[in-house]
Amino acid sequence: MTFEGWDFCRIDDELSEEERMARDTTRRFVDDRFKPLITEHFRKGTFPMQLVPEIAELGVFGATIKGYDCAGMNNVAYGLVLQELERGDSGLRSFASVQSSLVMYPIWRYGTEAQKQHWLPLMARGKKIGCFGLTEADFGSDPGGMRTRATLDGDHWVLNGSKMWITNGSIADVAVVWAKTGDSQDSIKGFLVEKGTPGFTASNIEGKFSLRASVTSELAFDGCRLKKDAVLPESHGLGAPLSCLNQARYGISWGVIGAAADCYETARAYALERVQFGSPIAGFQLVQEKLVTMLTEISKAQLLCLRLGRLKDQDKLRPPQVSMAKRNNVSWALEIARLAREVLGANGIADEYPVIRHMLNLESVYTYEGTHDIHTLIVGRDITGLDAFHAGA
């Protein structure tokens, strides 16, 4: 019998019943509720906000946090959930990743108990949406150079600056914003900025050809006055936002497997049905070579993520290992999307099929949460002890 599906190495055998259940429940949601809507939302450049309560019911938001109405999943189960969300669309996984890894996580790790009690249950239930403000127009890969400043004025912080390429920005009820309180990177702190705060505006970035079913915004702060308790008190220096990014990068490494798998499944089904020169093109050597390459790299990505997930659950995972997974898995997911597009020929550019949508989305995923090249340098520094980040190094 020919193999059907994409668990070629029987990863399922290594999963617990709870992990499979989390994945399968999310898979049904994506197939039944999300996929019928995604093409229209991608065309219009909108996110299906009406599904947020259902996503929350899956336990996706803050999934690995224990308490505060969160699901308390292990990291492998959470990774599998994100895999299924991105099988639907990178915008769906991005929505969940920002809410969980970039907003709920810093509140949980760096916030006060009062901040946790207020925000985390509301966000877990999807009643409040968050965004993460770190990147600036001139400081993408070098966030430590940020110009956004927070100055203490009596019982208030005064925030001035701007943030760019912020997922969920204009629809968020609260933004976790990172700003310098002095001149050095060590002075960076996180602040909770609620929607409607005077001096805070969020405007959508239009004209995107990627992540169209995702809200992307610019945040601006002009004399934005925050109460003194708006700061995340345990956040000290650039390491704090980078720790949040590490959480998100772990999730991305899992998520893109889903996008790649959707492209592979589409290409395989198409190749078995598409007849040229009197035979299904799946019987041609060059097409089989493409399909085998796709499935091989999906399998390798699965094995890498599974191992890192187990390490993360044992509190043994290091950031360079996450960088390796993000770098490898995103790069190969994008290549798999391109190979699938080749298999589909002219049909590969039509949104009747998901391939071109995944390809366009993955161009952004290749860049955000640390570009491919930055993750190369992170791993390179780890294995050589030499820092190649600076010009002329």
pLDDT of residue 390: 76
Give yes or no for residue 122 having a pLDDT over 60.
yes
Query: How far lies 258's CA from each of 58, 83, 264, 362, 376, in Å?
Result: 17, 5, 10, 11, 23
Query: How far lies 294's CA from each of 162, 278, 319, in Å?
Result: 40, 25, 27
Give yes or no for residue 392 having a pLDDT over 70.
no
Residues known to be catalytic: 369
pLDDT tens digit string along 10-22?
999 999 999 999 9
125 strand-pairing partners: none
What number is the average pLDDT over the span 71-85? Answer: 97
Say if CB 308 and CB 319 are below 8 A apart. Answer: no
Handedness of CA 140, 146, 147, 152 (dihedral sign): positive
| Tokens, residue 371 | 């570009």
Give yes or no for residue 393 having a pLDDT over 50.
no
User: Dihedrals φ, ψ of 178, to 5°?
Assistant: -105, 130
Distance CA 337, CA 298 (A): 11
Give yes or no for residue 173 having a pLDDT over 60.
yes
Task: Please tell me what DSSP assigns to residue 181.
Answer: S
pLDDT of residue 1: 41
CA 112-99-25 angle, to 5 degrees, is 125
Q: What's the whole-model pTM score? A: 0.95
Tell me the average pLDDT of the chain.
96
pLDDT of residue 388: 92
Distance CA 187, CA 150 (A): 10
Domains along the chain? Answer: 11-124 (1.10.540.10), 130-230 (2.40.110.10), 239-384 (1.20.140.10)
Spatial neighbors of 211 by CB under 8 A, at least 6 apart, are 90, 91, 94, 167, 360, 361, 364
Give yes or no for residue 389 having a pLDDT over 70.
yes
pLDDT of residue 3: 57
Distance CA 11, CA 155 (A): 54
